[in-house]
Structure 1
Amino acid sequence: MKYNIAVCREDDERYPNELRNLKGMPSLLYYKGNIEIINQHKNIAAIGSRTLSEQGSKLAYRTGIKIAEEGFNLVNGLALGCDTLALKGALSVNGKCVVFLPCGLDRILPASNQKLAEEILEKGGCLLSEYPEKTAVQKYRYVERDRLQSGISQGVIVIEAEQNSGTMHTADFAMRQYKRLACYAYSLLQMSSGNQYLENTGKSTVLHDETGLAAFLDNIKQSQSYEQMKLPF
């Protein structure tokens, strides 16, 4: 890829403001592309499982479009399935995307999303990692990456996920980080035991349609960002 890897340290004004409020965040980030968009606009993570129902696929794409149209950066991990479709939706309306990888930025995972990663950069987005070049992916690094997806975002939306999927790590981090959390109603979807779990916690806004999504996004758009004491995770 033509974009060189750069480093952003915690004392740099471009370092993501949302991460400053949380303990256990990396003291530096490796990035490609335009890292400045992270603090210039609010960020919404749109996440879900790699295996989706037909309805989940449609919701992922439409959610990506709506997030971008409302002026948010779309955040996720470039995974197949939900992540990919949400990113493609955002990019279809020239939205800005922020992607965290669980490895060094000298490689793209999955490799099949190489062109998608390039389009993200070409349209003014950003790829990030807390790991230096040549860092290979390990299973635990996916979980570490998940805390950054929620940490950098003002809101997290679960499209469709089973309860045993990696998506639920990000949702759990969102709750522990006191992020606004939403999920689509499990009754709308086929592979949605994770959505059902989130509904049952009472800690997630339940989305039934695009009107509900618009209201969730508007609530975040209208809210003010306040400097907090660092939270212990």
Structure 2
Amino acid sequence: MSPTVVETKKIPAILYVKGNSKLLNADYTVTVVGTRHPTEIGIKRDIELTAWFVKHDYVIVSGLAQGCDFYAHQTAARTIAVLAHGLDQTIYPQVNSPLAKSLLAKGGLLVSTYPLGTKTIPQHLVARDEWQSGLGDGVIVVETGLTGGTHATIDFALKQYKPLAVLKFGHYCQTNIGNEKYLADPRFDGLTTPDTFLNFVKRMLRK
């Protein structure tokens, strides 16, 4: 496998990194995203799917947000966190500062397209979503409602022709009703069992 090809509209002259920069050349990467307010079953499924991909030598990419991002980063042995601010700034959200330290301690990587001194603003959060998608071989949606930042990542993934997958749930609520919507879209794989995970891996490998 060759390293992940990053496909974004604007490639910065400098990519700012802190931690294990070798992860940028990993053979296998997958982006895991979702709501900041996952259900209990969503958290359980997030941890399980992340552990499955870690077992299969994948580097996990996410945005260090609360909720689904948090559990993906926490579970992963090797993980890349895309930030919406300069590397010298307080981690956003601040509650995830301990997670960022833990991530670095276990060989992970913090990535930013912004120079030192750059603070978080809403536009940077959207730009981060583009890089979250760009750094993965594919994108998995754990849980999402009908609105929220996850949809920006999905839109970027579609523009970048990234394979997309969404978790299936037995019951849907406001927190994951977006999953039900995307499951009706043939561009998305529905993930339920190891076999469906393997099928999605095959899609990513063909990219």
Please confirm whether the aligned pair reaches a TM-score higher than 0.5, indicating the same fold.
yes
Hey, what's the Cα distance between the residues in 2 that align with 1:55 and 1:40? 30
Residue from 144, 161, 186 that aligns with 2:144: 161
Q: Which amino acid aligns with 1:212?
A: T
1:173-221: CA deviations, max 9, x gaps? Answer: 111100010001254543222212322322110112343224323543x
Q: Which amino acid aligns with 2:94?
A: A
Hey, what's the Cα distance between the residues in 1 that align with 2:31 and 2:162? 11
Percentage identity across paired residues of the two chains? 33
What residue is the counterpart of 1:4 in the other structure? none
The answer to whether the aligner puts 1:82 opposite 2:68 as a matched pair is yes
What residue is the counterpart of 1:46 in the other structure? 32
**Gap change, CA 1:200 and 1:27, over 3 Å in 2:** farther
**Gap change, CA 1:213 and 1:82, over 3 Å in 2:** same
Contact 2:33–2:150 under 8 Å retained in 1: yes
Normalised to the residue count of structure 2, the TM-score between the two structures is 0.90
What residue is the counterpart of 2:133 in the other structure? 150
What residue is the counterpart of 2:53 in the other structure? 67
1:17-71: CA deviations, max 9, x gaps? Answer: 512x444222221110111122133210011000111110101111221121110
Q: Which amino acid aligns with 1:116?
A: L
What residue is the counterpart of 1:209 in the other structure? 193
> How large is the RMSD of aligned CA atoms in angstroms?
1.8
SS in structure 2 at match of 1:103: coil
Q: Which runs of 5+ in 2 are unaligned?
A: none
What residue is the counterpart of 1:181 in the other structure? 164
Normalised to the residue count of structure 1, the TM-score between the two structures is 0.81
Contact 1:184–1:206 under 8 Å retained in 2: yes
SS in structure 1 at match of 2:190: strand
Q: Which runs of 5+ in 1 are unaligned?
A: 1-15, 226-233
Contact 1:155–1:179 under 8 Å retained in 2: yes
What residue is the counterpart of 2:178 in the other structure? 194
Q: 1:96 Cα deviation (Å)?
A: 0.4
Hey, what's the Cα distance between the residues in 2 that align with 1:151 and 1:81? 21
The answer to whether the aligner puts 1:127 opposite 2:114 as a matched pair is no
Q: 1:134 Cα deviation (Å)?
A: 1.7
Contact 2:18–2:109 under 8 Å retained in 1: yes
Q: Which amino acid aligns with 1:32?
A: K
